[in-house]
Amino acid sequence: MSYVSVNSLMKRYEEKTVLDQITFSIEKGEFVTLLGQSGCGKSTLLRSLAGITQIDEGQIVVNGRDITNLPSRQRGIGMVFQSYALFPNLTVHQNISYGPKLKKQRNIEAEVRKMIEMMGLEGLEARYPHELSGGQQQRVAFARSLIMKPTVLLLDEPFSALDAKIRKSLQEEVKRIQKELEITTIFVTHDQKEAMILSDTIYVMNQGKVEQAGTPEEIYTKPQNKFVAGFIGAYNLFSKSEWEQCSGHELKAPFQDMAVRPESILLTGSDQEGSSSDYYVIKGKIEMKTLNGSMLSYKVKTSVKHLVVEEVNRGGGSYQEGDLVDLMLPKEACIPL
């Protein structure tokens, strides 16, 4: 039996369906991400699991216990919010110890010390939230949830307000701690890279439904439809007519679209002769070239649309704006949708 089972969840606000027959299961210790654009229903789903939002239909079972109609405080679920939601009049130590004290738990001090050390908050125990950086506040929020030993930990875009360097550091810490404690975690984000880094399983959501579920590799390399391909990994998308006009090859039914990732495309000079049976060849002209860290990105104009091509920047020998090129699309990397 799965540790978390969500069955046919429905949530409506007047005439709008926000969650539409959501069903999935999670194993104990798994790190699951709900990924999607703003307004797709992912935060509503998370708040429904926490008991903050009441569902209209469906069932939520955690560790064999039906929690569908239980109030939040009886669900045993912890949640870390985007806004941190720390008590401004309490110190770091007091924020972390608040829950155990409320439940009149014994030996609180040892548990608080463990959380402080685990989250790297040593020396900050007497500070108030306004005296902390954003990253430090988020660490306190994590510690405050973890000390309650939740059956499931819910994370509602907890890194979105942090700068890139702090976000990366905290992502690594959270992943390490999650694995160390073997805590079942459900994470909400709209950031595809973040989802790829942290997740065991990703659920891609759109308009209240799950479009595709799978490992990060499966989601990235084998999108099941046009929405997932367009949302994950900046795929180049061709309609049936665009593909046939551009490549000269028929896209057979039932497929209506073709997708290929920018890094899968190879560039060669247009004056080179010969072709390979392993590639589709498309003629193009480089209109824009940009450097993005270690990657070079090209915007290439073809007969029907612009394509994006990415390659590792090895210094020198790259193509320039205005160059005529052949785009070599490996057949195995072209995904019919």
Question: According to the model, what pLDDT value does residue 185 have?
Answer: 97
Q: What is the pLDDT of residue 83?
A: 83
Structure tokens, 83? 């806004």
SS3 284: strand
Integer distance in angstroms from the first to the last C-alpha of the chain?
33
Q: How far apart are CA 214 and CA 203, in angstroms?
A: 7
Burial letters 237-267, b for 16+ CB under 10 A, else e: bbebebbeebbeeebeeeeebbbbbbbbbbb
Residue 74 is predicted with a pLDDT of 94
Tell which residue, 287, 278, 286, 277, has the closest CA to residue 326. Answer: 286
pLDDT for res 272: 57
pLDDT score for 275: 52
pLDDT value at residue 274: 46
The set of residues, in sequence order, having a beta carbon less than 8 Å from that of 153 and lying 6+ positions away, is 77, 78, 79, 80, 145, 146, 178, 183, 184, 185, 186
Domain 234-336, CATH class in plain words: mainly beta
| Spatial distance between the Cα atoms of 229 and 224, rounded to a whole number of angstroms | 8
What stretches in the chain show pLDDT beneath 70? 271-276, 316-317
Give dist(CA 130, CA 150) in Å, integer.
Answer: 27
**Which residues are bridge partners to 331 per DSSP?**
none
> Residue 155: its pLDDT value, please?
96
The residue type of 256 is: Q
Whether the model pTM is above 0.85: yes
pLDDT at 147: 95
Show the tokens assigned to 113: 């010390």
Name the DSSP class of 225: S
Topology annotation, domain 4-230: Rossmann fold (3.40.50)
Task: Name the residue ranges covered by the structural domains of the chain.
Answer: 4-230, 234-336
